[in-house]
């Protein structure tokens, strides 16, 4: 049985400051928990309402040596980010961010200043669908372990290498020196469908309201755009990512 102090402690993980401090995050819902358990993230505890878990599920979790605690509804609600929770959450530890050899990658996706967690999560999901395994995020992007990012990614966040880079532009410059073409999505860019694809590309998607920063444009080798047919001012950045990835991974 969890104490009030334990409930209070786990509830702090809904706040970014405490997630970063404790290196832990909350996952809501059985499907997302299953995705996380099937990845290389380690689970500290499963917390659930009695009516939301079966004896079979508890036995499965026990076989994996995962501690499972049943709590009352009033306590459970303190641990949830959603208005209509599914009755089960998991507390997972941050994954150790290891160095990945990008040299054999054909396409990496990078996000600059995309602060909307729904967009970040959807882009992560799109990357997973199109087989892009490595993503670089600038420090102003929505946090990977934000509950809304996790939900929007539909669990893809657990299966990709995602790097939150404080020294974002220097990292891009370093990849450029190692032979990558820095390709920026921009309204003033070359037509996506006439662009001659390179062997090693870092596709950079920027904040849709402000566009790519000068720092980014100074680094970019090329810019591309999705040709407009109608009168809409722009495409949502997550929608644009699906179109761009579909073409660049053909």
Over residues 6-64, the pLDDT tens digits come to 999 999 999 999 999 999 999 999 999 989 998 889 999 999 998 888 777 777 788 88
β 181-191/68-70 pair status: unpaired
Q: Is 186 helix (H, G, I), strand (E, B) or coil?
A: strand
pLDDT digits 0-9 by tens, 96-105: 876 566 777 8
pTM: 0.93
Copy the structure tokens of residue 94.
Answer: 């941050």
C-alpha–C-alpha distance, residues 202 and 172, integer Å: 8
- Computed on alpha carbons and rounded to an integer, the radius of gyration of the chain in Å comes to 20
C-alpha–C-alpha distance, residues 101 and 153, integer Å: 24
**Are the C-beta atoms of residues 62 and 68 closer than 8 Å to each other?**
yes
**Are the C-beta atoms of residues 111 and 160 closer than 8 Å to each other?**
no
pLDDT digits 0-9 by tens, 172-216: 999 999 899 999 999 989 999 999 877 799 999 999 888 999 999
H-type alpha helices, 139-221: 147-152, 168-177, 214-219
Q: How many domains does the chain have?
A: 2
CATH assignment at residue 115: 3.40.1280.10
Is the residue at 167 inside a domain?
yes
Together in a domain, 113 and 144? yes
Together in a domain, 78 and 133? no
pLDDT digits 0-9 by tens, 134-187: 999 999 999 999 999 999 999 999 999 999 988 999 999 999 998 999 999 999
């Amino acid at each position: 049985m969890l104490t009030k102090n334990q409930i209070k402690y786990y509830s702090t993980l809904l706040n970014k400051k405490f997630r970063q401090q404790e290196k832990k995050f909350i996952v809501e819902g059985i499907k997302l928990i299953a995705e996380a358990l099937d990845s290389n993230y380690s689970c500290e505890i499963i917390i659930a309402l009695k009516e939301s878990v079966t004896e079979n599920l508890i036995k499965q979790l026990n076989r994996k040596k995962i501690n499972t605690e049943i709590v009352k509804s009033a306590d459970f609600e303190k641990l949830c980010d959603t208005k209509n929770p599914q009755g089960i959450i998991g507390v997972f530890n941050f994954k150790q961010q290891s160095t990945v050899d990008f040299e054999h990658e054909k396409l990496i996706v990078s996000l600059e200043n995309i602060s909307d967690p729904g967009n970040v999560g959807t882009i992560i999901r799109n990357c997973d669908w199109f087989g892009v395994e490595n993503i670089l995020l600038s420090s102003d992007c929505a946090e990977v372990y934000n509950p809304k990012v996790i939900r929007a990614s539909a669990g893809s966040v657990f299966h990709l290498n995602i790097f939150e880079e404080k020294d974002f532009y220097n990292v891009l410059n370093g990849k450029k020196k190692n032979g990558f073409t820095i390709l920026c999505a921009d309204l003033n860019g070359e037509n996506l469908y006439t662009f001659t694809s390179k062997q090693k590309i870092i596709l950079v998607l920027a904040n849709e309201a402000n566009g790519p920063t000068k720092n980014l444009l100074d680094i970019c080798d090329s810019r591309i755009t999705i040709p407009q047919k109608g009168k809409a001012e722009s495409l949502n950045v997550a929608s644009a990512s699906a179109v761009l990835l579909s073409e660049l991974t053909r």
